[in-house]
Amino acid sequence: MIEEKNTNQTGKIVDAVGSSTFDIFNTMLSMEVNIDPASKPSFLPVEKDSVSGDICGIVGIGGKMTGAIAILVNEKVGIKIASQLLEENITEVNEDVLGSIGEMTNMIAGGIKTALTEDEDLFELAIPIVIRNEEKIIHHLNDKCRVLTIPFLLENDTFFVKIYLL
């Protein structure tokens, strides 16, 4: 298992998340995203986690690394992503938006897995799920979990990729 206290490993995870997210947005959406330069991503205890989006795509991971990869977006970003991905003018959150966030979550998680498992197979991906979280409440059942939150800038908006590890 990757030790989250090891800054080299944290940096490797941040790099994998950054490159996967950048590549998927660039290739699939022709959109540019960047990690917020003001952020200092580091693993924190899960009780310090906060929900930062109306729509959350989640892919569980299991193996030598156990936890989840989550993409959290507000409604505006979700609509923007779905409109680009589907090449349609979408104006409200609907099944297409939720499905698009699920697809993006799956592709980004796959890119993270590829980047982190060059030398060994660290984890497998579960089937993605998407939650519309209007109440912005999340409850973690395992207090040993750590969370790494990476904010991304998309035009004038922010969305988040989170890595949860046991």
Q: Where are the domains of the chain?
A: 7-165
Q: Given a cut of 90, is residue 145 above it in pLDDT?
A: no
CB of 128 closer than 8 Å to CB of 105: yes
Those residues whose C-beta lies under 8 Å from the C-beta of residue 43, and which sit 6 or more positions away, are 4, 5, 10, 146, 147, 148, 165
Predicted TM-score (pTM) above 0.85: yes
pLDDT, tens only, 9-32:
899 999 999 999 999 999 999 999
Identify which of 70, 79, 113 has the alpha carbon closest to the alpha carbon of residue 97. Answer: 79
* Pairing outcome for strands 55-63 and 129-132: antiparallel
pLDDT band at 3 (very low <50, low <70, confident <90, very high): very low
pLDDT band of 64, cuts 50, 70, 90: very high
Of the pLDDT bands very low, low, confident and very high (cuts 50, 70, 90), residue 5 is very low
* Predicted confidence (pLDDT) per residue in 120-142, tens digit: 889 999 999 999 977 656 666 67
Instruction: Tell me the CATH class for 7-165.
Output: alpha beta
Residue 56: what pLDDT?
93
DSSP state of 47: G
| 83 or 42: which leads in pLDDT | 83
Q: Provide the residue count of the chain.
A: 166
Q: Are strands 146-154 and 43-45 parallel, antiparallel or unpaired?
A: antiparallel
* Tens-place pLDDT, residues 83-94: 999 999 999 999
CA distances, 2 to each of 38, 47, 63, 64, 91 (Å): 25, 20, 11, 8, 41
